[in-house]
Structure formats: structure tokens, C-alpha cells
Amino acid sequence: MTRFAAPIAEQIWDMKYRLKWSDDTPVDMSVEDTWRRIARALAEVETDRDTWEERFYHALEDFRFLPAGRITAGAGTARSVTLFNCFVMGTIPDSMGGIFDMLKEAALTMQQGGGIGYDFSTIRPKGAVVSGVAADASGPLSFMDVWDAMCRTIMSAGSRRGAMMATMRCDHPDIEDFISAKSDPARLRMFNMSVLVTDAFMEAVKAGGTWDLEFDGKVYHTVDARDLWNRIMRATYDYAEPGVIFIDRINEANNLGYCETIAATNPCGEQPLPPYGACLLGSINLARLVKDPFDEGAMVDEDELADLVSVAVRMMDNTVDASRFPLDAQAREAQAKRRIGLGVTGLADALLMVGVRYGSERAVELTETWLHAVARAAYLASVDLAREKGAFPLFDAEKFLASGTMQKMDADVRAAIAEHGIRNALLTSIAPTGTISLYAGNVSSGIEPVFAYAYKRKVLQKDGSRTEEEVVDYAVQMWRDLKGDAPLPEYFVNAQTLAPSEHVRMQAAAQKWVDSSISKTINVPEDIGFDAFKDVYMQAYETGCKGCTTYRPNEITGSVLSVSEQTEDAPEADQGADVIYMAEPLDRPRALEGTTYKLKWPDSEHAIYLTVNDIVINGSRRPFEVFINSKNMEHFAWTVALTRMISAVFRRGGDVSFVVEELKAVFDPRGGAWMEGKYIPSILAAIGGVIERHLISIGFIAGEGMGLKADPQAQVVNLDAPPRGAACPSCGQYDMRMVEGCMTCMSCGHSKCG
């Protein structure tokens, strides 16, 4: 018997979380071994290690408590990795030296897999005078380009993630350039972007007033507030960015408002953090806590929930001590405040299992009830830890209890904190759980609605044949197991059928009992009117949300998969690029056709010769392998490594054009070169350009900077199929979807946000 509820769950575990030796030999022989490894590692700081190891194991068992991916993959491995998910970096000084010091810190943090956030509002605007030099400032956007290039370089060197969040205040003089930056699809691709919107600005928008754009006390421009708001709304309507963060609300509610000011968040927005702030994440799987699912008396077991939350808080508090940190400043910040971000996943599935429609009044009531129970249990558990181990070092009872969040907390919880203190300054957050939700059996992620009841996942085998694997939502599969072929009740709704206002209501309901923030995507239809779209954001502001992120499918963000109905005897069109994930690499034929290119890098004595060989599958020609050779022995090691890595990627199939993009983005700090009238930032970028020209010549991609020449529509006879956008850069599947503010692959779990 397997603990996994679906084949994809076991595949995610094997790819993402299973401990293996460097030669890919498994150390964790079963998922029970993974749970045991985590439980043992997090019990190391306990006096009674054996007792707590067993309690931690029981919490992890059957996917009831899901620590975030970095904990699941890294705890107990002895690897030099951080177990924290979220970082906001130090305040960027308005000086060249300070800016590049911050760039170095960002690179060190991302090397260990941390997603980072930065507020670029502290950099003087474009055109401002720079004292002491005969030049004007280039502005924060130019430095964001440098950060973006650095992130690409870190990723090309093998970093696990490259996620960044950039924020800018709504009164910064360069805010209009910030808003429109993503209109260039090639710019700032490594960033998620959000505008820090103040209460004063929102009041000016509602009143139709003017708004000053200023820096360091100087007003640079005065604009119409509604016009600026419309610019923000139009950009996110067209490009899904920037998001909106209601920054005053975040600081007013912050338990630590007496000792920190927040101006940025982690990449997905669920963790507003101060300079050098760090937070780890974990989720209670509500779908596993429903008793008698689909029966009349079905309900979440709140006693079991409270007990599980209590153990989870202790595990996460121990993680603060067990984790490494990229920077000493991050370690000091984490130890001083002991922030944790405990949330939930499987909310929508749990609602279905108790017979409630997501977005309804009853769903709002239950969401508030369950999240209140989580918050109450978490705070009381943290009080117990304070009695045993001490409160967090910066705890000040009077100031802590005066914060916006604590004023609405239950009286007995407030009294316990006043008497004993509290171990963790903040405790709750709703994180992106795309990958761990797949690992837990494809439960609905976070507080999101069910995205699709079922969809087909196509796998290309070594012999070129295709197999299909159905991926079914956890609650839907349970309905099938219990009710057979009985039709789904009408309260089964998904992200595509919900009104945007219902999304907002659910986010607002959850926010009442979440002391940090929430990562959630509000899906809106492609044909939503602009005024109705703006109303979504105004509703989010008026109902107490701390931010708002929407996703409107269109030609730029990715459109919904079209579904073709076929008769039973109509053969499926055999389009080679349709199936793009392979269980194993293709075997190499005895002979292949290819082309050899000569590349002469300026100032280099020897040329580089690059051969690209192709294979034909289902009538389509695609790259299969590369060979890179040079007489320059300085190039030997990296050309061999590049040959092997690129060939391995090509043999996995799929839309491998991302290889070109990544190579072309690599810059050499020693400087690039001008070639054929264009500046090429590195020799690796030049190699990427050669490969790109080859892919164009064989018809694999449409042109320079473009993707597949043809984007075949998969013939999936399934009205609940997920949206189709760009191919996943990890596995190649057309299974990327916006999950809680971040594009995530539902086939392999890849996410740029971690």
C-alpha cells in the first residue's frame, strides 16, 4: 500500500523532496523515511528528543501538516541550505556603493534558494542631481535591470530558484515607469512587481484629488490620483502586473509595529517583512481533517485541528534554530522575532467535502471559523512555548497587545500573552502551496478554489509513444471513491466559474485571522470590462485585504486552453510539439543530421566550433544534442559541461527554447563584446545566439526572441482542463498556471517563486 493519493504525488515527492545521493541513488526509500528525517531533524533542539520526534512524525503522517518545500527537502540532509522561504533584503542606500553591496547580498541569498523582496523607493528618481559628479541619476528602474541580470546569472549557475519581488511607493517620482515596465516582455522577467499603495492615495482616488510624486522632500510632479490609479489598473489588466499592496494597512496591523517598518514583501506577497526579515512557511491540510466527508454531518474536526496546529507551531519554532541563513543579519532578525508563517491548504476541497459552495455566505462563515481556530491554537501554543523556552527577545507586552491585529484577538489569548509572553512575534500566513499540494494528493492549494476537477497529463515515452495520466482533484477523487458515477453536486465550482467578487470575499474572510498576509490569485474572465476589473481592487481595499493580485487570461498572460470535441472515430492530430514531457530521454539514433557553426569571440586566439544535431519526431524536426569544441584549453571544462547539460535538456524534449533565453541572459562582469553590430554580454550569450539561429533555421522557433513556431492546441476532451500558457521551463509541459500570485507548473511543481 502506498501513502500517496495519486501518481503525480509520488512523482513530485521523488523529484522535489526525496533525499538522494549525488549520483541519484535514493536515501529516503519511502515517504515515511522523508517524514522521519524531518521529524528527527526538528526534534534535535528538544530536551526530550524521542518524544517530540514521534509527535512531529505523527503530524507529518498522511500529509496532515505540510512544511514548506525547503523544510521538506532540506531538513536533516546536512546540506548547506536555508530552510526559510522568504526574505526581504536590507534597505537600499541611495549611493552607488551601497546599491552594489545590496546586489551582493541578494546574490548570496538566492544562491541558497531564498526568494527575496526589495523596496526600490529609496533610490532617487531618474534625472535627479547626483552631487559630486557631473551626471544625473539613472533611477531605480535601471538598477532593477542590474538585479534582473544578476538573478538570471545565479539561475544559470544552477540555483534552485530566482524569485524576486520589487516594490515602489505610489508617491515615488518614477512610479509611472515602474507601472509600465512589464509592458516590455523581455524586461524584468525575474521580478514580481507591486505598488505600495497608501491610504492617503486611495482616499485621493475616491475623492478625485491630485497626488504629489516626491522624493527626499522635493515634489517632482503632481498628477491626478485617478489617472495614476487607472495606469496601475490598466497595466495589471493587460500584463497581470504590478500587483497592489495596501502598505498602511500592513503596518497598522503588524504585531511588531513598535519596532519595525515594512516596505516590501517576499515574491508571492504573503510575507510582508522588515529589512533583513525572514520567515518560514508551513500549512495545515484541511482536506485531511474532514470527518465523514460528503455525509450530512461532515465537518472539520476542530479538536484535531487545534492539536495539529499546536505541534506544527513547535516544529516551525524549532526550525528557526535548525536553519542556516545566507546572511548574519537575517539570522539575527529571525532570532530576535522568531516569525513563522503557519497557514492552511485544501480549504476549497474541505468546503466541498462538507457540502459548501466556495464563495458562498456559508463558505465565508466556515473560512472565518476555521482560520480563527488556527490563529487561536497557534497563539496559545506560542504562549506555552514562551512559558517553557522564553518569549521572543524583542517582546514588549504593552506595545505588542496594542497592535491592530492583537486588539481583535480573543480576550483569554490576550490575557495569556500579557502574563506569559509569546514565543513568536507573528504566526499565521497563507502561502503558495502549489507543489506541496500536489505532493499531498492534488488537494486544492492554499485558500484557492479548485482549479480543475480533472485534467490529462501527457507523458512521452522513450519509444515515441504517448501515455495519458489523469490528474484528479483530491475531493473529486474522494467523491468518485465514495459515490461512484454519481454526478458532482451543483456546489462543486472551480476557479473559472466563480465571480471575481467571490474570490475577494474569501480572501477578506481569511485575512481577518491571518496576522501576516495571503498569497492568492483572483481569476477574472478575459472579457471582464475595465471598470468591473477596477472594482475588484476597490472591493479588496474596502473589505480589509492587505493586497490584491489578479489574473486575466489574454494573449500576453496566456489564454485558456481551447477544448475540441471529437467523434470517437476521429483520430487525434499528431503534432510533435503537443506532448512535451518525457518519462525518460529518447534513445539516440545511429545517424543524425546536423550543422556546425564557427564562433569567433573577439580578442580570443581560437575559435569555438558548435555542432547542433537534430532528430525528427512525428514529422517535426527538433534539436537533440550539441557539441562544443575549441583549441583554447581555458574553455575545456566549461565547454564539456555545457555540451553535456544542453544535450541532456534537448533529449528530454519539450519547448527547450528557454535554453537560448538563459544563455543569452548571462553577462560577463569583465565585459562583453560587439558582434555584427550588436552588444553580446558574454561568450555564453554568443553561444545562445548561435543555437537560437539554428532553431530558427530548422523551424523549431518562429524567430529571434520567440518561442515555438507553432503552438499546437492539445485535443483534451475535458471541460475542466487547465489554462494553457507558456511551457514549463523545467519539464516542458503546457501546465503553467497562476497559483497564489506565481506561475507554477502543475505537472512537476516548478515555480519561479519557490
pLDDT tens digits, one per residue of 502-529: 999 999 999 999 999 999 999 899 999 9
**CA dist., res. 10 & res. 7, Å (int):** 5
Q: Which residue type, as a one-letter code, is found at position 429?
A: S
Number of structural domains (the chain) is 2
425 is written with which cell numbers?
512575534
Active site residue 176: no
Q: Tell me if 231 is assigned to some domain.
A: yes
**CA dist., res. 367 & res. 346, Å (int):** 12
318 touches 55 (CB < 8 A):
no
**CA dist., res. 439 & res. 13, Å (int):** 6
Of 253, 278, 311, the residue that ends a domain is 253
| Listed residue (388, 381, 386) closest to 282, CA to CA | 381
Which residue of the set 53, 105, 241, 270 is catalytic?
A: 270
613 touches 597 (CB < 8 A):
no
**Cα 179 from chain centroid (whole Å):** 21
Of 253, 282, 309, the residue that ends a domain is 253
Neighbours of 265 (CB within 10 A): 31
649 touches 581 (CB < 8 A):
no
pLDDT of residue 115: 81
Q: Which residue type, as a one-letter code, is found at position 219?
A: V
Q: Please, what sign has the CA dihedral across residues 8, 10, 14, 19?
A: positive
Q: Tell me if 230 is assigned to some domain.
A: yes
Active site residue 268: yes
Which residue of the set 85, 251, 254, 266 is catalytic?
A: 266
Q: Tell me if 691 is assigned to some domain.
A: yes
Question: Residues 159-217: pLDDT tens digits?
Answer: 445 689 999 999 999 999 999 998 887 788 889 999 999 999 999 999 999 999 999 99
Q: Tell me if 524 is assigned to some domain.
A: no
Residues of the chain with pLDDT under 50: 156-160, 559-584, 709-724
pLDDT of residue 226: 98
Q: Tell me if 235 is assigned to some domain.
A: yes
Q: Tell me if 24 is assigned to some domain.
A: no
Coil, helix or strand at residue 2: coil
Of 697, 715, 730, the residue that ends a domain is 697
Which residue of the set 86, 151, 170, 268 is catalytic?
A: 268
**CA dist., res. 33 & res. 18, Å (int):** 9
Phi, psi of 308, deg, nearest 5: -65, -40
Taking phi over 0 as left and psi of -120 to 50 as alpha, with beta for the rest, 63 belongs to: left
Domain residue limits at 156: 86-253
**CA dist., res. 430 & res. 68, Å (int):** 11
Q: Tell me if 714 is assigned to some domain.
A: no
In the 8-state DSSP scheme, what is residue 472?
Answer: E
Q: Tell me if 615 is assigned to some domain.
A: yes
> 103: which residues sit within 8 A by CB, 6+ positions away?
146, 147, 150
> 728: which residues sit within 8 A by CB, 6+ positions away?
654, 734, 735, 736, 745, 747, 748, 750
Active site residue 494: no
Residue found under cell 514583501: 265
